[in-house]
Chains A and B, each alone.
Chain A
Amino acid sequence: GAVVSQHPSWVICKSGTSVKIECRSLDFQATTMFWYRQFPKQSLMLMATSNEGSKATYEQGVEKDKFLINHASLTLSTLTVTSAHPEDSSFYICSARDLTSGNTGELFFGEGSRLTVL
C-alpha cells in the first residue's frame, strides 16, 4: 500500500515556541491530506483538510492562526503549532488518499507525532 511518512515522531518544546510537523506521501501524489488530533484513549478528531495549492479547510473550533497548515506540493503538507502552550500537547496524525488506485476512500496514515509542551 501507499506510504505516508510523518516527522518528527515526538517533540518536546518550551511554551511560547513554534513546532513544525511534516507529512509526506512517499510513493504517491496526495492532492488532499487530513490532519487529526488524538487525545489518550479517544478517537481521531479531524482538525483540517489540507488541499495542495490552496488554503486549508479548518473544522469548527480549530484555531487557524494557531495551527498553520501548508500544502505546497503534492507530496508534502506541514502543520505548524504556533506559540505552543501545554494544552496543545497531544498526538497529531496526518493522512492522505492515493487516488491513482480509485476513490475507495481508504486513508493512509503517518506514524503520528507526539507533542509535549513544557
Chain B
Amino acid sequence: AQTVTQSQPEMSVQEAETVTLSCTYDTSESNYYLFWYKQPPSRQMILVIRQEAYKQQNATENRFSVNFQKAAKSFSLKISDSQLGDTAMYFCAFYRGTSGSRLTFGEGTQLTVNP
C-alpha cells in the first residue's frame, strides 16, 4: 500500500518570501502521479500542481513549483513570493495510475502567510 508523509504539521512565512513544504511517499509502482492540493478556510479543495512520475522535468505553475526526486521518493512544493491568499492547509497526494484508484493523502501542512 502507498503511504504519503508530510512531516511539517504547521509552517509560517512572511508575505513575499519563499517557503518549501515537504512530502515523501512510499510505493513500489514505477508510474504514478503526485499532487499538491490546497484547502483554504473555505474548505474547498483546490489543485495546486500535478507531477507525472515518468516526467523528469519538475512541474511549475506560476509561483508554485515542485522538486520531484523519484529515487528519494520526495515531492516538495515551493511557493515563491508568498501571498496572504496562500494561507491554507496543503495536502500532498499520490495516485497509482489505475482508473478507479483512490488518491492517498498526506496528513497535511497548515501554512500561514503573515503580513
How big is the B interface, by class?
20 to 34
Across-interface contacts of A42 in B (CB, < 8 A): 107-108
CB contacts under 8 Å to A, within B50-75, are 50, 52
- Out of B45, B50, B96, B100, which one reaches A104, CB within 8 Å? B50
Across-interface contacts of A1 in B (CB, < 8 A): 47
CB of A105 within 8 A of CB of B95, answer yes
CB of A105 within 8 A of CB of B35, answer yes
CB of A43 within 8 A of CB of B43, answer no
Interface residues of B (CB under 8 A from A): 33, 35, 42-47, 50, 52, 89, 91, 95-97, 99-103, 105-108, 110
CB of B99 within 8 A of CB of A95, answer no
Across-interface contacts of B95 in A (CB, < 8 A): 104-105
- Out of A46, A49, A91, A95, which one reaches B100, CB within 8 Å? A49
Cα A32 to Cα B110 in complex, Å, equals 29
- Nearest CB in chain A to that of B42: its residue: A111
Total number of residue pairs linking A and B with CB closer than 8 Å: 56
Cα A47 to Cα B54 in complex, Å, equals 30
Across-interface contacts of B47 in A (CB, < 8 A): 1, 106
Across-interface contacts of A105 in B (CB, < 8 A): 33, 35, 50, 95-97, 101, 103
User: How far, in Å, is B25 (CB) from chain A's closest CB?
Assistant: 13
A contacts with B, residue count (CB < 8 A)? 23
Cα A32 to Cα B101 in complex, Å, equals 9
Cα A112 to Cα B41 in complex, Å, equals 12
- Nearest CB in chain B to that of A41: its residue: B110
User: How far, in Å, is A50 (CB) from chain B's closest CB?
Assistant: 11
Across-interface contacts of A32 in B (CB, < 8 A): 99-100
CB of B44 within 8 A of CB of A106, answer no
- Nearest CB in chain A to that of B99: its residue: A103
> Does A99 make an interface contact (CB < 8 A)?
yes
CB of A43 within 8 A of CB of B107, answer yes
